[in-house]
Amino acid sequence: MGMDLYTFIGVYFELPKGEILIDKTITGCKKCKTTSSKKFCENCGNKIGSYEKKFKVDITLENLIDIDEFSDFDGTFTSPEYLPNISFSNSDDDFRFFSEDEIVFNIDPKVVEEKLEKARNKYASLLETLKEKGFDDVLKYGVIFYYA
């Protein structure tokens, strides 16, 4: 199985590199802090319930938000494996600079600004949620080379 080099030119999200602590709801024993799908803890016999646990995770769009909560856009995001802090829409041609059949194109700053503005409007609630979590100025426009 080989790797192919891809080029993406368009709007993308760039988050800072690093890690954050997030809370996740775990189903398991609150006393033993173990996970379990049974009704009672195998260690202490307490009833299984849910509890919050902190996890250290990479700063990624996927770790910061639940994409299904945002009804203002459709589609999914791609993050190259070795660039987890970069995410771009792999289904939204509105924010790409060129079509698949173009070979030569001019990157016009006016078009770039128009596409950024359109993305700011489309992703307004997502950008607001990221801002509330301390991540501002994350929408960018540029060229991404990645292997997949």
HEC string of 74-132 equals CCCEECCCCCCCEEEECCCHHHECCCCCCCCCCCCHHHHHHHHHHHHHHCHHHHHHHHH
Residues 1/22, Cβ–Cβ less than 8 Å: no
Residue partners of 3: CB distance under 8 A and separation at least 6? 147, 148
The mean pLDDT of 24-36, rounded to a whole number, is 86
Q: Can you give the pTM of this predicted structure?
A: 0.75
Over residues 97-114, the mean pLDDT reads 73
* High-pLDDT (> 90) share of the chain, %: 27
Query: What pLDDT, on a 0 to 100 scale, did the predictor assign at position 99?
Result: 56
Whether 18 shows a pLDDT value over 90: the answer reads yes
Dihedral-angle region of residue 10 (phi above 0 means left; psi in -120 to 50 means alpha; beta otherwise)? left
pLDDT at 97 over 60: no
Higher pLDDT, 95 or 65: 65
- In the block, which residue shows the tokens 């301390």? 134
108-145 residue pLDDT tens? 899 889 989 999 998 898 899 999 999 999 999 988 88
CB of 119 closer than 8 Å to CB of 96 = no
Mean pLDDT of 54-66: 89
